[in-house]
A and B are shown apart, each in its own frame.
Chain A
Amino acid sequence: GEDVEQSLFLSVREGDSSVINCTYTDSSSTYLYWYKQEPGAGLQLLTYIFSNMDMKQDQRLTVLLNKKDKHLSLRIADTQTGDSAIYFCAESIRSNTGKLIFGQGTTLQVKP
């Protein structure tokens, strides 16, 4: 079946690195995504990685993909208070046209 799992909460200090983890079950995933949701707002696309890649870096964000273990992570370097939000992992399934499977979201709390 299709399932995406994330830990629910992560707390870090400002300036530290944050690592948010995600596991998925469907090996036919084509793309994997990270979305950010700030309080009272919709989901904003942060970054995505194609399934034939194992790493993608974009400024303070680093995405690592381990296909063998079906594990995806998002590392945020030099975490700021403005990074406090809920982070959702999602996968697109080759067999499902258009649909994304979302995790339950990880709440990141950044302490000053």
Chain B
Amino acid sequence: DAGVIQSPRHEVTEMGQEVTLRCKPISGHDYLFWYRQTMMRGLELLIYFNNNVPIDDSGMPEDRFSAKMPNASFSTLKIQPSEPRDSAVYFCASRGSGGGETQYFGPGTRLLVL
């Protein structure tokens, strides 16, 4: 399996622009997680899905952030409009329902908002 796939790997944009981050989970996994990592705040869980349904979005910072999972093999995290304080590394992770509850992480998207 290719693992969790994220795109783009790097994104540089200007304040006010819309940013869309993409994730393909590991095939057969039914949980998908979006995290944000910054030096100041560490690793933060933004939202997670189970069977394509959002379960907990309490970590989404504000209404500018939205996430969707239209099918089992694809999810997006959108920021509109983007702000410089959104600059961070965004990780997607997935896991199956079997024992271990282990999450497998993608390589991340490095976002810089100027």
Contacts and interface: CB of A to CB of B under 8 A. Distances in A.
Interface of A: 30-31, 33, 35, 41-45, 48, 88, 92, 97-100, 102, 104-105
Given A42-B91, A42-B108, A105-B42, A33 B48 contact: no
A30 B107 contact: no
The B interface, classified by DSSP as helix, strand, loop or mixed, is strand
Contacts of A45: 102-104
Nearest to B30: A98
Interface in B21-61: 31, 33, 42-43, 45, 48, 50, 55-56
Interface in B63-79: none
A23 B104 CA distance: 23
Interface of A is mostly: strand
Contacts, number: 47
A42 B50 contact: no
Contact of A48 (B55, B102, B104, B106): B102
B95 A98 contact: yes
Contacts of B95: 98
B50 A98 contact: yes
B101 interface: yes
A67 to B, nearest CB: 18
Nearest to B59: A99
Contact of A92 (B4, B101, B107): B101
Given A45-B104, A92-B101, A98 B91 contact: no
B106 to A, nearest CB: 6
